[in-house]
Structure 1
Amino acid sequence: MQYAHLAVVMPAYNEVEGIGGFIDEIRTAVAPLAERVTFVVADDRSTDGTAAALSGIVDIDVQTQPANRGHGPTALAAYRGGLALSPDAIVHVDGDGQFLGSEIASAVRALGRTGADVVHGVRHSRTDAWYRRLLTAGVRLLTAVIVGRGVPDVNTPLRAYRPEALQILVNAVPSDALVPHVHFSFAEVRAGFAVRYLSVRSIPRRGASSTGTMWGKVARPSLPPKKLVLFALSALREAWTWSLRPGAPLRALEFEGPGSA
Structure 2
Amino acid sequence: MRERDRVVVVIPAYNEAEALPSFLAEIRASFDAVDIPVSIVVLDDASTDQTAAAADGLAEVVRAPRNRGHGPTALAAYAEGLREGSPIVVHVDGDGQFYGDDIARVALALDDVDADVVHGVRRGRTDPWFRRGLSGLVRLAVLVLCGRSVPDVNTPLRAYRPDTLRVLVDGVPADALVPHVHFSIAEARSGLRMRYVAVESIPRRALAAQGTMWGEGRSRQVLPPRRLIRFAARALLELWRVDIVTVGRGARTRAAGTAPARG
Normalised TM-score (structure 2): 0.90
Aligned to 2:8: 7
Structure 1 residues 116 and 217, CA gap change in structure 2 (3 angstroms): closer
Aligned to 2:261: none
Structure 1 residues 63 and 207, CA gap change in structure 2 (3 angstroms): same
Contact 2:91 2:158 in 1 (8 A): yes
Aligned to 1:20: 21
Aligned to 1:197: 196
Structure 1 residues 34 and 8, CA gap change in structure 2 (3 angstroms): farther
Q: Distance in 2 between the 1:250 and 1:44 partners?
A: 33
Aligned to 1:224: 224
Q: Equivalent pairs: percent with the same residue?
A: 53
Structure 1 residues 150 and 78, CA gap change in structure 2 (3 angstroms): same
Contact 2:20 2:54 in 1 (8 A): no
Gaps of at least 5 residues in structure 1 are 253-261
Q: CA deviation at 1:245?
A: 3.4
145-154 vs 33-42, which moves further: 33-42
Q: Distance in 2 between the 1:149 and 1:37 partners?
A: 33
Aligned to 2:151: 152
Q: CA deviation at 1:4?
A: 3.2
Secondary structure in structure 2 of the residue aligned to 1:4: coil
Contact 1:242 1:250 in 2 (8 A): no
Q: CA deviation at 1:250?
A: 8.3
Aligned to 1:166: 165
Q: What is the total number of aligned residue pairs between the two structures?
A: 250
Q: CA deviation at 1:224?
A: 0.2
Q: Distance in 1 between the 2:118 and 2:251 partners?
A: 21
Q: Distance in 2 between the 1:48 and 1:155 partners?
A: 27
Gaps of at least 5 residues in structure 2 are 253-263
Q: Distance in 2 between the 1:175 and 1:223 partners?
A: 31
Q: CA deviation at 1:132?
A: 0.2
Contact 2:12 2:77 in 1 (8 A): yes
Q: CA deviation at 1:48?
A: 1.1
Summarize deviations over 1:45-70 as a string: whole Å, max 9, x none.
11110001222x1x611111121111
Q: CA deviation at 1:32?
A: 4.7
Q: Distance in 2 between the 1:250 and 1:138 partners?
A: 26
Q: Distance in 1 between the 2:232 and 2:249 partners?
A: 21
Q: Quick check: which has more Rg, 1 or 2?
A: 2
Summarize deviations over 1:112-165 as a string: whole Å, max 9, x none.
111101100011100000000000000001111121111100000000111111
Q: CA deviation at 1:101?
A: 0.7
Q: Distance in 2 between the 1:250 and 1:48 partners?
A: 44
Q: Distance in 2 between the 1:23 and 1:89 partners?
A: 18
What residue identity is the alignment partner of 1:24?
A
What residue identity is the alignment partner of 2:238?
E
Q: Distance in 2 between the 1:159 and 1:250 partners?
A: 27
Contact 1:42 1:78 in 2 (8 A): yes
Secondary structure in structure 1 of the residue aligned to 2:125: coil
Structure 1 residues 245 and 49, CA gap change in structure 2 (3 angstroms): same
Structure 1 residues 246 and 79, CA gap change in structure 2 (3 angstroms): closer
Contact 1:4 1:35 in 2 (8 A): yes
Aligned to 1:239: 239
Aligned to 1:256: none
Aligned to 2:181: 182
